[in-house]
């Protein structure tokens, strides 16, 4: 039988939100984009923590970012990699409408004209050996050309239910970057493994590069707030080389302050130094037993001593020592074509011996269709 009481959704404080996350038996199911501190990095957005209540019991949470449109007090509501609800009904037996209808009503009352969210529901998974064989065979050009090692029918059922509730999704262009957050990621499982077993799972090139960095004297250390300018200098250099627009130093300083205040273990800065120079720098975010490689940068010089491999190995070792179940290298494209400029993303990460994973992607709901279409038209002309 379905639950007797209807869920209600209302704002909760950041402290209530964080207490709920910390009390979860599986805190790791929460994305770092759904903890209160993430809002601290997004100065251009306002935000709110939402709580789903079954009577007086808090049973779900979501961090919603609110972006106001020009000259109108109306907002795009965005829940990156969230909210944290029972998407499949496995925990509570509730239909998805029980969760999403009161959320939509609450956001409409807050002035939202449209909602974007990203269910953390895994659709398919490909092991590294499977993908290496597909690349060597030359016939597969995209991840979906390869039979997955694992499939998750529950996620596809969630997709069908979302469509039935009026939610829509942009067409999959194939690259995997049509959403704000990546649809395809690469992860290294850590549970039950030793450092020696992890290193043995790397390919020969990765093992050789880690050893080369060690022999050359590359030193990987943890940095602090005062080291963010050094990180940012290398990050800007990376942006110029890879032709993307870099975020300003203030963005990373806001992120550091917000995450450090929430939990001193939330964010870690890594610096790979060689002969007094910072050659690579990264940030690692951790929630529960899930660790994410979030930002990375490398200098144009010193690449021959392999600082990028050394810094990744340091983050993986630290994640293992912290008791994490997974080390998440975040986004990849879905290309398996060596001629594609984006192929290097998956090629580098495949060397760690983990798996590629496809999520359900991001979904949109128009709460005020006329305004939503007008804003879409405005943005398309910019």
Digit-coded pLDDT (tens) for 306-326: 999 999 999 999 999 999 999
Q: What gap in Å lies between CA 39 and CA 258, rounded to an integer?
A: 8
Q: Average of pLDDT values for 332-340?
A: 94
Share of the chain above pLDDT 90, in %: 86
The reported pLDDT for the residue numbered 176 is 47
Q: Which contacts qualify for 140-148: CB closer than 8 Å, 24 or more apart? A: 140/336, 141/335, 141/336, 141/337, 142/174, 142/334, 142/335, 142/336, 143/184, 143/334, 143/336, 143/356, 143/358, 144/334, 145/336, 146/336, 148/124
The reported pLDDT for the residue numbered 291 is 97
pLDDT in tens, 205-215: 999 999 999 99
Q: Provide the 10 A C-beta neighbour count for residue 234.
A: 23
- Written as six digits, the tokens of 4 are 């007797």
The SS3 of residue 292 is strand
Are 159 and 359 contacting, i.e. CB atoms less than 8 angstroms apart?
A: no
342: preceding bond cis by omega (within 30 degrees)? no
* CATH, domain range 8-118+362-381: 3.40.630.30
| Residues 99-114 as b or e (16 or more Cβ within 10 Å = b) | bbebbbebbeebebbb
Residue boundaries of the structural domains of the chain: 8-118+362-381, 122-152+161-359
The reported pLDDT for the residue numbered 133 is 96
* Dihedral angle computed from the Cα positions of residues 277, 280, 284 and 290, in that order, rounded to the nearest 10 degrees: -140
Lowest mean pLDDT among 3-7, 93-97, 267-271: 3-7
If one compares 251 and 72, the residue with the highest pLDDT of the two is 251
Q: Does the pLDDT value for residue 304 go beyond 50?
A: yes
Q: Does the pLDDT value for residue 156 go beyond 80?
A: yes
The reported pLDDT for the residue numbered 180 is 86
- In CATH terms, 122-152+161-359 corresponds, of 3.40.50.10490, 3.40.630.30, 3.40.50.261, 3.40.50.10330, to 3.40.630.30
If one compares 372 and 252, the residue with the highest pLDDT of the two is 252
Write down the pTM of the prediction.
0.93
Average model confidence (pLDDT) across the chain: 93
Residue 177's pLDDT band (boundaries 50, 70, 90)? very low
Q: Average of pLDDT values for 9-38?
A: 93
φ, ψ of residue 150 in degrees (nearest 5): -140, 140
Residue 371's pLDDT band (boundaries 50, 70, 90)? confident
Lowest mean pLDDT among 21-30, 159-168, 234-243, 326-335: 21-30
């Amino acid at each position: 039988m379905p639950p007797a009481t209807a869920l209600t959704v209302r704002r909760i404080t950041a402290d209530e939100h964080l207490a709920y996350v910390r009390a979860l038996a599986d805190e790791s199911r929460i994305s770092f984009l759904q903890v209160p501190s993430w809002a601290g990095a997004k100065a251009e957005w306002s935000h709110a923590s939402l709580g789903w209540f079954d009577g007086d019991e808090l049973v779900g949470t979501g961090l919603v970012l609110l972006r106001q449109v020009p000259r109108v007090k109306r907002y795009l509501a965005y829940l990156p990699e969230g909210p944290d609800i029972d998407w499949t009904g496995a925990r509570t037996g509730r239909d998805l409408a029980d969760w999403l209808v009161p959320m939509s009503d609450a956001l409409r009352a807050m002035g939202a004209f449209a909602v974007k969210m990203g269910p953390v529901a895994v659709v398919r998974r490909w092991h590294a050996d499977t993908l290496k064989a597909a690349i060597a065979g030359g016939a597969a050009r995209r991840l979906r050309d390869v039979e997955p090692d694992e499939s998750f029918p529950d996620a596809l059922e969630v997709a069908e239910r979302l469509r039935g509730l009026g939610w829509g999704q942009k067409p999959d262009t194939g690259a995997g970057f049509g959403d704000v957050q990546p649809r395809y990621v690469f992860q290294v499982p850590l549970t039950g493994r030793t450092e020696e077993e992890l290193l043995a799972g790397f390919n020969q090139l990765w093992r050789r590069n880690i050893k080369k960095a060690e022999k050359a004297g590359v030193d990987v250390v943890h940095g602090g707030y005062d080291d963010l300018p050094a990180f940012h200098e290398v990050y800007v250099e990376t942006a110029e080389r890879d032709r993307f627009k870099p975020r300003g130093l203030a963005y990373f300083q806001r992120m550091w302050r917000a995450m450090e205040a929430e939990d001193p273990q939330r964010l870690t800065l890594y610096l790979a130094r060689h002969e007094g120079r910072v050659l690579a720098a990264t940030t690692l975010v951790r929630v529960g037993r899930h660790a994410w490689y979030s930002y990375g940068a490398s200098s144009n010089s010193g690449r021959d001593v392999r600082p990028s491999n050394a810094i990744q190995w340091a983050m993986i070792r630290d994640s293992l020592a912290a008791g994490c179940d997974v080390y998440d290298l975040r986004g990849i494209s879905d290309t398996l074509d060596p001629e594609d400029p984006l192929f290097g993303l998956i090629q580098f990460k495949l060397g760690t011996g983990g798996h590629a994973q496809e999520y359900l992607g991001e979904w949109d709901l128009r709460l005020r269709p006329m305004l939503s279409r007008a804003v879409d038209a405005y943005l398309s002309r910019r």
